[in-house]
Amino acid sequence: MSDARERFDAIIIGVGQAASALANRLAGAGMTVAVIERRAVGGTCVNVGCTPTKSMVASASVARLAARAAEYGVAIPGTPTVDMAAVHERTSAIVAKSRTGLERWLGGLPGVTLIRGHARFESARTVRADDRLIEADKVFINVGGRASAANIEGLDEVPWLSSSDMVALRELPRHLVVIGGSYIGLEFAQMFRRFGAQVTVVERGARLMPREDAEVSDEIRAILEAEGVVFKLDAECIRVRPHPEGVAVITHGGKEETIGSHVLVAAGRVPNTDDLGLDKAGVRTGPHGHIEVDERLATNVPGIWALGDCNGRGAFTHTAYNDYEIVAANLLDGEPRSVNDRIPVYGLYIDPPLGRVGMTEEQALAQGRTVRVGKRPMTRVGRAVEKGERQGSMRIVADARTDEILGAAILGPGGDEAVHMVLAAMAAKMTARQLTHVVAIHPTVSELIPTIAGELGDAVAPPARAG
């Protein structure tokens, strides 16, 4: 192991979504940058997250559409079947092209050195990557996260799959049991049901995705149940054990047992911060391992920043990229940008997808706001009816006193795209009344957003506080 020090102006640990763009900006400002990656360039999104899963969602959507072809007056001889090996090959090719393109671009940036190895702090300014000792005055951590093994009794005694394992499957499970009824779990549940697997989702809570309004959660459940996904809710005390046919998932105090050929544990994620030597740098972490940062992504140690999933300030590719924008703006542009400026927005990529921005009705009421809510089922959206996709709904939440747009949920065809009209309106600080003046293209799903903003219901006051 060498003790010879290599000197750079900046070190970036982990090549997630913030790292490449940040390396480019820093190098463009004349800095020398060491970028350290121990696994695959591109992080979760490119390798085991967004890119492969959405590629597989696309294959599953085609399978579903082929099965419904007769509804559209299209005859397909025989029964459509899914070739999982071919799905895997298509997905892998897309991932490989994205990753190699990023590697080539990053490796060709003047002033940037891509180093392969496991980075660990030896001090606040010194990082060892395997046998190389690297020193810099600025260090940026972008190490992302991984699937949590969760606190499930017996999990160490059975084979189980993470979301990363799911995108590598070449065979179709006979019966996939998904532990966790939230965003990742539901995407895989619908996907593999469409591929032809039997699917059961086990969820500890009384409903799916408690971060959503109850009506939206119920609509999502109805969409998946209509395709044959089985749900077991209120499943406290989940435990697993080996079974001759795979894995037995035991719930409801031992009263129910589901036998799966494969088990996906989608019960949360943890940051990749446990083996970085953060204690040697003096960097503080929270109770769940996230690196503590301020609103500009700086840690408690001057000269060290944390970006992306590892800082607990956002768990999406778009928030990680925005972290880069915030750091670059403050360091290089003299622009005081902050994580407090961004509006929460995300999607659930079942089909049809959910686009969500801002607050739900329940969240707004919990903040003590009096709200007005506009709703419209997709059965009353012409574009959805014409496409044969009538499931879901659209809703906008506004402050009853100020007419401020607080949030929206669009569950239906193109919901992940249409929600951006509301996001843009909120960023521009438009009121619901001002949004009604927008003239949108017909026929689209988005054209109904101004209409819904003009059809807000009666004011709903928050519940009275006890005591």
Which domains, from first to last, does the chain contain? 5-146+270-341 (3.50.50.60), 155-267 (3.50.50.60), 346-453 (3.30.390.30)
The residues annotated as belonging to the active site are 442
Q: How far apart are CA 118 and CA 122, in angstroms?
A: 13
DSSP H or E segment with residue 334: none
Question: Which residue has 């249409």 as its token pair?
Answer: 418
Q: How far apart are CA 82 and CA 68, in angstroms?
A: 14
Reading the block at residue 437, the tokens are: 């003046």
Q: How far apart are CA 350 and CA 389, in angstroms?
A: 13
Taking alpha carbons only, the member of 437, 364, 375, 440 closest to residue 402 is 364
Which of left, alpha, beta for 326 (phi over 0: left; psi -120 to 50: alpha)? alpha
> Among the residues of 84-213, which ranges form H helices?
84-107, 163-166, 183-195
Question: Which residue has 């179709």 as its token pair?
Answer: 172
Taking alpha carbons only, the member of 89, 314, 52, 82 closest to residue 188 is 52
Find all residues with CB under 8 Å of 220, minimum gap 6, and list them. 186, 208, 209, 212, 348, 350, 354, 411
Question: Which residue has 């970028």 as its token pair?
Answer: 35
Please state whether beta strands 354-358 and 345-348 pair in parallel, antiparallel, or not at all (unpaired): antiparallel
Taking only the tens of pLDDT, the chain with its 467 residues reads 557 899 999 999 999 999 999 999 999 999 999 999 999 999 999 999 999 999 999 999 999 999 999 999 999 998 889 999 999 999 999 999 999 999 999 999 999 999 999 999 999 999 999 999 999 999 999 999 998 877 789 999 999 999 999 999 999 999 999 999 999 999 999 999 999 999 999 999 999 999 999 999 999 999 999 999 999 999 988 999 999 999 999 998 888 899 999 999 998 899 999 999 999 999 999 999 999 999 999 999 999 999 999 999 998 999 999 999 999 999 999 999 999 999 999 999 999 999 999 999 999 999 999 999 999 999 999 999 999 999 999 999 999 999 999 999 999 999 999 999 999 999 999 999 999 999 999 999 999 999 999 999 999 999 987 55
Q: How far apart are CA 301 and CA 374, in angstroms?
A: 46
Number of helices (H), then strands (E), in the chain? 14, 23
Buried b (16+ CB within 10 A) or exposed e, 224-241: beeeebbbbbebeebebe
Helices 214-226 and 183-195: crossing angle in degrees, nearest 10, is 20
The distance in angstroms from the start CA to the end CA of the chain is 65
Q: 3-state DSSP call for residue 42? A: coil
Reading the block at residue 57, the tokens are: 């969602």
Is the CB of residue 446 less than 8 Å from the CB of residue 423?
no
Q: 3-state DSSP call for residue 4? A: coil
Reading the block at residue 283, the tokens are: 């960097």
Find all residues with CB under 8 Å of 253, minimum gap 6, and list them. 236, 237
pLDDT of residue 25: 98
pTM: 0.95
Find all residues with CB under 8 Å of 316, minimum gap 6, and list them. 346
The dihedral through the CA atoms of 305, 309, 315, 318 has a sign that is positive
Q: How far apart are CA 224 and CA 348, in angstroms?
A: 13
